[in-house]
């Protein structure tokens, strides 16, 4: 065994030893009601990392019971105290950044450098909402007729169900937990089956930071629908916040309608990356590498398709292929690795299918384009040039390290191509013409735009989409509103 492999095995065992394997309900770690467990796999080796208690409907109900019991005292806790718990949790996450990053890499696959960036990003939601907790305000006004006084106040919506995906195992949780804690809500978190470990470790850190029992309950499960389905119709639940695929989001919306739950939906994307002929091409290529390759391309805000002015398309595609082709692929915990495996075989199969379809309809792979031999769900960074408009990859979310490049002739065509999708999460625009930039930004149907920038995520900004990418915002001053209700009091004078 090589020295680095032995070192990695040792670090892996040490970090896995820190993770509780039970359900976290009412401040206690417990076995699942049925006594069952499910395994969590390392996508780079296909080896089992550990077993985790497999939550069932009875466990989800017990978690909601705990959240409901903890609700009134938590809502009455002074905002400053809630904020200070978040602030301590932020500091603890940074203190444990190395371990948290390795844990995330083990269960999700991305490089440790990417995982560390997620720890910093994910923790930032706690610092941000620690500051927002003390800024929840109401209004007082005299009625236009002068005969009444109008008082509005903001109150926590009540017990929340939070459902998160596997691609950002930490940040997708903290974007919801942070504002819920700040607003005074209690919650049940159902992390993704593929990546439950980071959430369990996070619950432990929040407890260490002083979070009272029952405020956060965590129920991993291998049967999401059966486990959380009954909660959706429980009248005590008041809010559901979901991050994941549009298909599952649509189904959950239907369920939520019966109970008239407040709903936030962070769904799929199909981000266009537009490069105009007047753009700084070096900056556009740098931005494209980030927008495409962050998180192995498994991000809802990943650039899904590159629309490039015909005059510079060949140059752009060639330079992008050179950069992506030079990236080092391997186990995310190994030194110098930039691109880890995809999450599982299903995801790799989908990427392969979309690449094959693009090549069949006339595209050419400038780099990558086929899976390597061996264990792990690896797929190389790939650039496809000359992608035709009928290729599925331009319409479907690829969720992998593949960059299809297609061309446009005019600004109108560029905007039309960008909007030719049911999704509307984010778009990237590269141009050095200010008026064009503003015209294009105004014409694009998305919730976010990266203007001459390949990264938009920021805890201080409202993250979210329009159209089939969902609604509701996470982060920014808007993020806490998702967890607050407005009460109006009419006062007679
Ligand atoms: P997914 O299949 O929709 O799963 C998301 C979560 O929903 C998981 O926890 C999953 O549990 C759970 N779930 C699945 N079926 C359910 C059901 N019937 N009832 C209740 N919960 C259910 O999505 P994913 O594959 O994990 O994540 C990838 C998708 O998320 C992509 O489309 C991506 O664009 C989107 N995403 C969006 C954002 C954003 O902010 N807009 C951010 C990140 C990701 P299991 O794990 O057990 O299946």
Which residue has a Cα nearest atom 20 of ligand 1? 225
Ligand 1 mean position, distance from CA 192 (Å): 7
Torsion 266-163-234-201 (CA) sign: negative
Ligand 1 mean position, distance from CA 55 (Å): 17
pLDDT along the chain (493 residues), means of 10: 74 94 98 97 98 98 99 98 98 98 98 98 98 97 97 98 98 98 98 98 98 99 98 98 98 98 98 98 98 98 98 98 98 96 98 98 97 97 97 97 98 98 98 98 98 98 98 98 98 95
Is ligand 1 within 6 A of the CB of residue 164? yes
Give all strands (DSSP E) within 212-352, no chain letters.
216-218, 239-243, 262-266, 271-275, 303-309
Is ligand 1 within 6 A of the CB of residue 192? yes
**Cα 350 from Cα 340, distance rounded (Å):** 17
Ligand 1 mean position, distance from CA 67 (Å): 23
Q: CB-based burial of residue 282 (10 Å sphere; 0-12 exposed, 13-18 middle, 19+ buried)?
A: exposed
Is ligand 1 within 6 A of the CB of residue 65? no
Is ligand 1 within 6 A of the CB of residue 184? no
Side-chain half-sphere exposure of 66, counting CA atoms within 13 A: 25
Joined tokens for residue 45: 């080796």
pLDDT of residue 133: 98
Q: Give, for ligand 1, the residue of 118, 198, 245 to mutate: max count of ligand atoms closer than 8 Å to Cβ.
A: 245
pLDDT of residue 385: 98
Q: Give, for ligand 1, the residue of 165, 170, 253, 395 to mutate: max count of ligand atoms closer than 8 Å to Cβ.
A: 165
Q: Give, for ligand 1, the residue of 169, 248, 461 to mutate: max count of ligand atoms closer than 8 Å to Cβ.
A: 248
Of ligand 1's atoms, which has the minimum distance to the CA of residue 251? 18
pLDDT of residue 292: 98
Ligand 1 mean position, distance from CA 386 (Å): 32
Ligand 1 mean position, distance from CA 257 (Å): 19
Which residue has a Cα nearest atom 41 of ligand 1? 266
Q: Give, for ligand 1, the residue of 244, 294, 344 to mutate: max count of ligand atoms closer than 8 Å to Cβ.
A: 244
pLDDT of residue 3: 59
Q: CB-based burial of residue 223 (10 Å sphere; 0-12 exposed, 13-18 middle, 19+ buried)?
A: middle
Is ligand 1 within 6 A of the CB of residue 248? yes
Ligand 1 mean position, distance from CA 78 (Å): 34
* CA angle (393, 395, 398) in 5-degree steps: 45
Q: Got the DSSP string for 363-399? A: -EEEE--SPPSSSS-----EEEES--TT-GGGTS---
170's CB contacts (< 8 A; 6+ apart) are 100, 104, 118, 119, 122, 198, 199, 202
Of ligand 1's atoms, which has the minimum distance to the CA of residue 469? 41
Of ligand 1's atoms, which has the minimum distance to the CA of residue 221? 47
Of ligand 1's atoms, which has the minimum distance to the CA of residue 165? 26
Q: CB-based burial of residue 149 (10 Å sphere; 0-12 exposed, 13-18 middle, 19+ buried)?
A: middle
Q: Give residue for tokens 């778009």.
A: 427
Catalytic residue among 124, 300, 397, 482: 300
413's CB contacts (< 8 A; 6+ apart) are none
pLDDT of residue 257: 97
Side-chain half-sphere exposure of 82, counting CA atoms within 13 A: 28
Q: Is 28 a catalytic residue?
A: no
Ligand 1 mean position, distance from CA 245 (Å): 5
Beta carbons of 220 and 188 less than 8 angstroms apart: no
Catalytic residue among 118, 124, 266, 482: 266
Q: Is 266 a catalytic residue?
A: yes
Is ligand 1 within 6 A of the CB of residue 166? yes
Ligand 1 mean position, distance from CA 487 (Å): 32
């Amino acid at each position: 065994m090589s020295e680095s492999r032995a070192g990695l095995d040792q670090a892996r065992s040490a970090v896995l030893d820190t993770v509780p394997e039970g359900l976290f309900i009412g401040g206690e770690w417990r076995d699942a009601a049925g006594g069952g467990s499910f395994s969590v796999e390392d996508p780079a080796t296909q080896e089992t990392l550990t077993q985790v208690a497999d939550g069932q409907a009875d466990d989800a109900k017990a978690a909601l019971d705990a959240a409901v019991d903890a609700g009134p005292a938590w809502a009455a806790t002074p905002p400053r105290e809630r904020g200070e718990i978040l602030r301590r949790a932020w500091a603890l996450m940074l203190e444990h950044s190395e371990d948290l990053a390795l844990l995330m890499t083990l269960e999700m696959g991305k490089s440790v450098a990417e995982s560390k960036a997620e720890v910093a990003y994910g923790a930032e939601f706690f610092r941000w909402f620690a500051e927002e907790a003390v800024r929840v305000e109401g209004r007082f006004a005299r009625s236009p007729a002068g005969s009444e006084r109008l008082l509005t106040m903001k109150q926590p919506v009540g017990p929340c169900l939070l459902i998160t995906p596997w691609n950002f195992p930490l940040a997708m949780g903290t974007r919801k937990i942070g504002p819920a804690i700040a607003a005074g809500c209690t919650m049940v978190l159902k992390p993704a089956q593929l990546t439950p470990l980071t959430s369990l470790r996070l619950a432990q850190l929040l407890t260490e930071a002083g979070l009272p029992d029952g405020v956060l309950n965590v129920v991993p499960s291998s049967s999401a629908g059966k486990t959380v389905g009954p909660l959706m119709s429980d009248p005590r639940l008041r809010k559901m916040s979901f991050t994941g695929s549009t298909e599952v989001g649509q189904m959950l919306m239907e369920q939520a309608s019966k109970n008239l739950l407040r709903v936030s939906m962070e769904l799929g994307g199909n981000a266009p990356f537009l490069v105009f002929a007047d753009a700084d091409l070096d900056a556009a290529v740098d931005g494209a590498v980030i927008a495409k390759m962050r998180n192995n391309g498994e991000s809802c805000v990943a650039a899904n398709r590159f629309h490039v002015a015909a005059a510079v398309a060949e140059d752009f595609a060639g330079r992008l292929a050179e950069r992506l082709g030079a990236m080092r692929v391997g186990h995310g915990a190994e030194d110098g690795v930039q691109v880890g495996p995809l999450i599982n075989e299903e995801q790799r199969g989908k990427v392969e299918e979309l690449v094959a379809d693009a090549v069949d309809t006339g595209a050419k792979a400038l780099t990558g384009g086929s899976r390597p031999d061996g264990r792990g769900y690896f797929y190389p960074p790939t650039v496809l040039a000359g992608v035709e408009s009928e290729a599925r990859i331009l319409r479907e979310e690829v969720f992998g390290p593949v960059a299809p490049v297609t061309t446009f002739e005019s600004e109108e065509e560029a905007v039309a191509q960008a909007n030719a999708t049911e999704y509307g999460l984010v778009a990237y625009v590269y141009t050095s013409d200010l008026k064009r930039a503003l015209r294009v930004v105004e014409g694009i149907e998305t919730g976010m735009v990266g203007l001459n920038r390949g990264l938009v995520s920021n805890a201080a900004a409202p993250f979210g989409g329009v159209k089939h990418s969902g609604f509701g915002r996470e982060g920014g001053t808007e993020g806490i509103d998702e967890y607050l209700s407005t009460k109006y009091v009419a006062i007679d004078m």
